[in-house]
Structure 1
């Protein structure tokens, strides 16, 4: 199902990228810069790209950040859940593209409308949470992209399952221009990047950051956002001005090792 709202299909504001809407900074990590390079190449080629990896490693944030720089007015996002069918994708595109009237009831008419719309001007179609899609849904995207009149680039962002589904289907896999895998952030990068991520950590000792990463964050920016939120709440509750050992243990009691 697709969550319908007035902003559906548009790039979110930058402050909405951070988990828990944490007041944090976008850090120019190596994956972020690689995504910018890969998205730019995909748009120039009007091709298809797959950004994949476990949850919390920055796929969506990196893709959104790149598209804000490269094609903010030409980007249309779909976030699909619960095993979407081609019908769900049709309706999602209808809503994201802001098409007038009621959606056509017959698939062939619906496809004609979408293809005609996607032939009018260049658009970037982003399918977030692509791990929920099966073969038929990926095939539908291929059907739209293969049409000789449509003027589109397609970016999939999702978990490992979207990579596995695509790789099992040679006709789909062969059309991917770029594959980008997101992985756990190495410890040395955690120590370098976390102080820039949020002011809470600017004065933290590198060893404290290492210890927290080993115990709970595991090189995952989403985990760091959750831990930071708990730390800030705990400091406010306990009247603290800095991160202490007791506060760290208090936070650990809430996250169960994540």
Structure 2
């Protein structure tokens, strides 16, 4: 099974970049399942709307994962319970709308997609390690992709080692900067600390540089706006063994706006 996991999509520039490159990537790499993190996909870079979710599915995304900005657009409460192809962090407290994992069909079988959120420098949620244990008890025999939406590299690495051999891949999201530490752990779990983002290139994590710098310099409240200009596309390509579901290959994908695309 081949899976294309796309990093955090930021605002309308990120969506436009997704729609431009995804058809080409699908032609070139022939993924069986496409997963994308959409928690920053709204026009202001915070949350997601029903319309944007439909756009992403229509463009060829099979599953949307979320994170700490999942609830920033209140309309998500109107549709998340009905959308089987969208997952929010599974370690939100019991009773939270939506689902923490889902199973996506593909020509090469089913892929389970699990969304978890870290607790270091983020909200105090239920334990992602114990939540992963509980979920995996229900997903025996399926390849499992974990989107771990977390702030610190140490927490991401810890979860990957904890789940090594029990899931197909643990891929980090949230920090918007693609890391160069892709590897397959000894028991067969693919790992990458952060897949990166899709959106403005000349920005700070997708936001206008000036406002972010002003916040650091003055320590005063500043409203962040999605930047414009050149864009970037970050993703990771994963190959899972057809019977064991463990990883056989992991390949980072990075396309900057000033680089040509070769089909």
Q: Which bracket does the TM-score occupy, shorter chain normalised? A: 0.3 to 0.5
Give me the TM-score of the superposition, normalised by structure 1: 0.34
Give me the TM-score of the superposition, normalised by structure 2: 0.33
Higher relative contact order (CA 8 A, sep 6+): 1
Higher helix share: 1
**Greater Cα radius of gyration, structure 1 or 2:** 1
